[in-house]
Amino acid sequence: LPWYRRGHEPSWCLGMGVVMWFDLLVAVLNDMLFAAIPAVGFALVFNVPQKALVYCAIGGAIGHGSRYLMMHFGIPIEWATFFAAMLVSIVGIHWSHRFLAHPKVFTVAALIPMVPGVFAFKAMIALVELNHRGYSHELVAMLAENFLKAMFIIAGLAVGLAMPGLLFYRRKPIV
């Protein structure tokens, strides 16, 4: 739009800021909806009680949606996954106290949608291509980049899931 590039908007326009925030809101809600589906699916595989399925879906949506927002604002995917896993774990601990269940009932299935399947797949494809074609700098770089990214995301999930439990269930005070 030429009037947007020049920096002066007509009086009838709502402003590009409102449209951008609305687009972000729609994208986050879309991400949360499609993250809740595999969370419920894996909760069913893990034999989570039927009353807890809704909370697994909400946890998956909160985790994936918060990671999406953090990544949108420039946080790398590894750190965003770590903080999202911590958030899901904190919410799971709250729900476990409220519903008298183990926190893992709510949190493990909620974290499954954040598992880095694409990066692990790309690393394995690079490994197979390396085996098939022979040594190539590009393939080794692709293998290393995707493998390390997948491992750091998995480490962020594991540490983020464990960290709130370590802080809330301590036998000795932190200080």
CA dihedral 147, 148, 150, 155 (to 10 degrees): 140
Task: Tell me the whole-structure pTM to 2 decimals.
Answer: 0.85
Give the span between the Cα atoms of 55 and 147, in whole angstroms. 32
| 65 touches 31 (CB < 8 A) | yes
| 114 touches 62 (CB < 8 A) | no
Q: Compute CA 150 distance to the chain's CA centroid, rounded to the nearest angstrom.
A: 13
pLDDT (tens, 9 = 90+) of the chain, 175 residues, equals 454 455 555 555 555 577 788 999 999 999 999 999 999 999 999 999 999 999 999 999 999 999 999 999 999 999 999 999 999 999 999 999 899 999 999 999 999 999 999 999 999 999 999 999 989 999 999 999 999 999 999 999 999 999 998 888 777 766 5
